[in-house]
Every structure is written in C-alpha cells, then in structure tokens.
Amino acid sequence: MGPAFSEQEHRERLERARDNLRQAGLDGCVCVAPEHLYYVGGYDAHTHFSEQGLVFTANIDEPTLVIRDVDLPLATETSWVKDVRTYHYGADNPSEIIADIVEEKGLLGGNIGTDLQSYALPASYYMKLNAALGNSTIEDSSNIVGRARLL
C-alpha cells in the first residue's frame, strides 16, 4: 500500500502547522486527533481510541510519533516519521512517554497545544497527559492545526 502522499508533501504540511502554532504563541504540539496524525505525519490511524500522539515543536525538529506496539507495522507502512516510539497497552503509560519526549524537545513548562476537541482525547487520557506534562500550559490546538488543512 505505502504512503498516500510524499514525505515532502507532509513536511510542507508540518511547516504550515508550525506557522499556525507560532502565530498562536504555542511552543509545540501533541496532536492526538487521527485526522491530524494523518495530515501531518501520514499515519493512517485506524485506532481512534488508543492513546497516541504526534509531538513536534513550533521550530525545526523531527516529529515523534507515539503509538501502541501492535500498530507499528501500520506506522511503518503509512508514515514518513522516523522517530516512532511504542508502548505496550496496559503495561506502559503513553502519557509519560509523551512527557519524556516533550522534555527532550525542550517544551516542558511551555505552552503546548493539543486536540482538546477531539474524540481521540477522552477525559481519562487528558487527565493523564495533563498530569505528566507538569507545569506546562495546555491549550486547545484543534483549530490551530486544523487551519493548516485549509488551502
């Protein structure tokens, strides 16, 4: 099957999303909405109810995709993202993995956007993510990233 769009197309999409983040005063983003995972990262996320995320800054960095270990073949087939980290459902806490990535990227304690309007972010996931991100400010980036999809 393979990716539907080229890596270059996805990188251009990522840059549009970053422009929107900068304009909104956000330092980075943890995208969880399947439509954003697909649009920016190419990940054709059919698992809408698992805790997953695409982490990237408003600056130049390589994005990081966090998914369940059983979804790795799908990510390998559909996504251009090279830094893919997996967790074992029920044994690992993906929110802590995401928080580690946020810290690696220098975003911890900053203004971080996430898809607060998405059905892919139920209250339990949001609460775990919010706790793991400590003193970071979480803002709704649903429409901020979503605007990048409008040409």
pTM of the model: 0.93
Residue 66 Cα to chain centre, angstroms: 8
Residue 136: give the domain boundaries: 7-149
Q: How does DSSP classify residue 106? A: T
Q: Give the closest residue to 24 by CA, choosing from 149, 151, 145.
A: 145
**Neighbour-count burial of 40, counting CB atoms closer than 10 A to its CB (0-12 exposed, 13-18 middle, 19+ buried):** buried
Query: Residue 27: inside a domain, yes or no?
Result: yes
3-state helix, strand and coil shares in percent for the chain, rounded to the nearest 5: 40, 20, 40
Query: Residue 26: inside a domain, yes or no?
Result: yes
Query: Residue 114: inside a domain, yes or no?
Result: yes
Q: How far apart are CA 51 and CA 78, in angstroms?
A: 18
What pLDDT tens digit does each residue of the chain (151 aa) get?
667 788 899 999 999 999 999 999 999 999 999 999 999 999 987 656 789 999 999 999 999 999 999 999 999 999 999 999 999 999 999 999 999 999 999 999 999 999 999 999 999 999 999 999 999 999 999 999 988 877 6
Query: Residue 2: inside a domain, yes or no?
Result: no
Query: Residue 130: inside a domain, yes or no?
Result: yes
Instruction: Kindly write down the DSSP assignment for every residue of 53-76, as one continuous string.
Output: EEEEESSS---EEEEEGGGHHHHH
Query: Residue 53: inside a domain, yes or no?
Result: yes
CATH classification of the domain holding 37: 3.40.350.10
Domain count, the chain: 1
Query: Residue 1: inside a domain, yes or no?
Result: no
Q: How far apart are CA 106 and CA 122, in angstroms?
A: 26
Q: How does DSSP classify residue 96? A: H
Q: How far apart are CA 82 and CA 92, in angstroms?
A: 21
